[in-house]
Chains A and B, each alone.
Chain A
Amino acid sequence: MAGSLRLQRLPSASPGIVLAARAAAIVMALVFAGIILAMTGANPIELASEVVDASFGSSFGMEDLGVLIIPLILTGLSVAVAQQIGAWNIGAEGQFYAGAFAAAAVGLFVPGPPALILALMFVAGLVGGAVWILVPTLARAYGNVNELITTLLLNFVAILLVYFVATNAWRDKMANSATPRLSAEIPEFWGSIHWGLPIAILAALLVTGLLAFSRWGYEVRLVGSNPSAANYAGVPVRRHLITVMLLSGAIAGLAGMLEIAGTVHRLQGGISNNYGYLGIMVAVLARSSAVGVIFSAALMAFILNSGIILQTQGLTTSTVLAITGLILFLTAIGDELAHYRIARDKA
């Protein structure tokens, strides 16, 4: 007898299969998106070529991508780092604002040569982000309070704080909803792409290296995977939880600093463009791999940029958001399906 076919679940999926499932998911999402666009009366093929042309056909398109990638790498890295220790940092958005706020304070009120100011802003960004995650971190480490909720709620505080100072105390007399231009800025090296890009890539590579090639990284992976095994092996679980979560906040804060010092040059409301929340998606797409974040951030930047282009073609933001959601949704399905294989029953 031939035996019947059945699905068999494997305990772990090989990276190759996961990658293939990912690719299939993205292609399927684009096909779905095309069908929806066609139903709204647009010509999807034409739109697609428009998008590709606008993104990669000109140096302007590439510059736009580059500027988007910088914060996405860092917020994605922030979420991915917290994932390594088994924590969900939903607050990269708030830490981004806090980092931007702290850096702006230095840029607006500390006199000195630009190079020194930039260095101080860099530190201020890191510290601002870390301070913003400090309370959720301690609450998790000592009170076992779920960081998912505390980090999320602090986002609103940070967003409103920045709105408040940008429209009140730190307001530029000429512009009503932003601070004056900051005294120091990160130099650009290619069109509008500034040196934040190599810094962000370097940060991702540095974290990857530390995780793979340091004792600290080994211990962090152990704590993240099974805290009681780490405890058994004598690893200081709580200390690592605290340092890693603070690092996660600092990285998101750095993203905020680079954004105001390199791209926006002022502190204003809404500067984050939801980069903090998109960072969660970037990290999920990268399967919390620190180096994978670079690639998923690039993909996310492309999607965002396509969205902007599509909007100029008369599509609404919600359509663009729907496509983004489709990709995440299908990727999640793809990840799960990668665990299955079709087996033949030996009956």
Chain B
Amino acid sequence: MPGEIHALLGENGAGKSTLMNILTGIYQPDAGEIIIDGYAKEFSTPLQAIASGIGMVHQHFKLVQAFTVAENIHLGWSQTPRRASAQVLEQRTAALAEKFNLKTHPGARVSDLSTGEQQRVEILRVLARQARVLILDEPTAVLTPTEARELFKALRQFVAAGNAVIFISHKLDEVLEISDRISILRGGRKVATENTAECNPRMLAKLMVGRDIVPADMRRRPADAAPMSTDPVLSLENVSAIGDAGNETLHGISLDVRAGEIVGVAGVAGNGQRELSEVLTGIRPVSAGKILIAGKPVGKSNAAAFAESGIGHIPEDRLHSGLAPALSITVNAVMREYKKPPVSSGIGYKPGAATALAKEIASAAEVSIPDFAMPIRNLSGGNQQRLVARREMRIADKVLIAAYPSRGLDVGAINTMLRYLVELRDAGAGIILISEELDELLNLSDRIAVLFEGKIMGIIDNDKTDIDEIGLLMGGRTQVREVA
């Protein structure tokens, strides 16, 4: 609607991005139509969507890093003068920036700009093409709070001129602050559209995650299960870590897990989960704080040493970091135990013994494999994941870090994975389960820690919580009770 900021709220995989890709002409709808100014439109290419005044600012900017701001603005634009000097482009850019009230440095190289400035260039580029509907995908994810405030100011000015904004986010506070109306997507359906004035965080959280949770039967332990220990087997004390981009992505995390306990880590993906799992397994060094394994502080982070002290790791992206897809099933299966007999003796490596061990792991994983020399990428994702899980369970005497163990799997394979975790818990290992599936977390975990922007918002006892509280924490709200 003209003059409106409409927020789109939903979990990962709720269909936000798909919907926007349809609006911007990247995907085509199977059914239904897009109506703009009362006319039905069909976009078979992104260019047609742009011509109709729809502009999208993606979460990951699509700018040419080596070009100047002015060059990026004029790239692939029909109104770019055919013959233009850098000066002319910069003047035009300065004029545009003036018109839309977005401060930029037309002559600066994009690679020299901060993320906030880059986002402004991206928005300016979209606006310059006469966009009347501006779609922003998680725009504040990359911004500092100050930059976010500036963005909000620019957006308000834009809608005040009779344009519209679609604002995609999972952060409850900012959605409440900026939007006029809110639509909530869940599982590919719109579950509600409300005026923001009539919304509160609790209600949004409920709508966002709200579904009936099957009672937590997987938390019940059989009589012969190992009891939960009183002392933690693995603890983090005020641990911070630096992300790949060089900025601190984990801030003072304190978390511990006891033997025979499953600790869930909830949160929207990208809030530090990857860094957390890497810190817990010794792949990523800590920048502050310390890690204790069975009460003893660990020196320098070292993935091999962590594995040897009994910490297994099901990584979030098995093909990228947990397996060598082009190498044989045998090579991949013995990745954790190749240093020990029987696979090696001294400096030697025994392919025969390695295949024997691979067969053992495959039979525990109930995967039938015709040829162990075959590259592991030929297996299905479910079978790969079972093999990884079994491989890691063998070494995880103390703790297993399972990052999104059910991601990309079908229901049957998911159940197998969860059964494995329960089996390991009952055998007396501690488990840290990082997941975005709340049902999964509530069904399995004894305690749930909620991660938001690299901080733990709270660690809650599963018996004393409900899904709304977790939803609020995931949206960055700490004061649960304060909510009206």
Contacts and interface: CB of A to CB of B under 8 A. Distances in A.
> Are A and B associated in one complex?
yes
Interface of A: 11-12, 212-218, 221-222, 225-226, 228-235
B348 A229 contact: no
Given A232-B283, A232-B315, A233-B307, A215 B338 contact: yes
Contacts of A217: 349
B262 to A, nearest CB: 22
B91 to A, nearest CB: 39
B303 A233 contact: yes
A217 B281 CA distance: 24
B331 A214 contact: no
Nearest to A216: B347
Given A226-B323, A234-B303, A218 B338 contact: yes
Interface in B325-368: 325-327, 331, 335-336, 338-339, 344, 347-351
Interface residues of B, number: 34
Contacts of B375: 11-12
B336 A233 contact: yes
Contacts of B287: none
B331 A218 contact: yes
25 contacts: A11-B377, A12-B374, A213-B348, A215-B344, A215-B347, A217-B349, A218-B338, A222-B331, A222-B335, A225-B324, A225-B325, A225-B326, A226-B321, A226-B327, A229-B322, A229-B335, A230-B324, A231-B321, A232-B303, A232-B315, A232-B321, A232-B322, A233-B303, A233-B307, A233-B335
A225 B328 CA distance: 11
B324 A214 contact: no
A229 B324 contact: yes
A228 B349 contact: no
B398 interface: no
A231 B324 contact: no
B99 interface: no
Contacts of B324: 221-222, 225-226, 229-230
Interface of B: 281-283, 302-307, 313, 315, 320-327, 331, 335-336, 338-339, 344, 347-351, 374-375, 377-378
Contact of B351 (A212, A222, A229, A233): A212
B107 to A, nearest CB: 30
Contacts of A233: 303-304, 307, 335-336
Contacts, number: 77
Contacts of A232: 281, 283, 303, 313, 315, 321-322
Nearest to B350: A213
Contacts of A235: 304
Contacts of B351: 212-213
A232 B338 CA distance: 14
A138 B322 CA distance: 27
B349 A215 contact: yes
A290 to B, nearest CB: 15
A260 B378 CA distance: 48
Contacts of A222: 324, 327, 331, 335
Contacts of B347: 214-216
A234 B302 CA distance: 7
Nearest to B305: A234
B484 to A, nearest CB: 47
B313 A218 contact: no
Given A226-B323, A234-B303, A11 B378 contact: yes
Contact of A229 (B304, B323, B339, B377): B323
Nearest to A222: B324
Q: Which of B347, B377, B378 has the most CB of A within 10 A?
A: B347
B116 to A, nearest CB: 28
A212 B325 CA distance: 18
A43 B349 CA distance: 54
A347 to B, nearest CB: 22
Given A221-B331, A222-B324, A232-B313, 14 more contacts: A11-B377, A12-B374, A213-B349, A218-B338, A221-B324, A222-B335, A228-B321, A229-B322, A229-B324, A233-B303, A233-B336, A234-B282, A234-B306, A234-B307
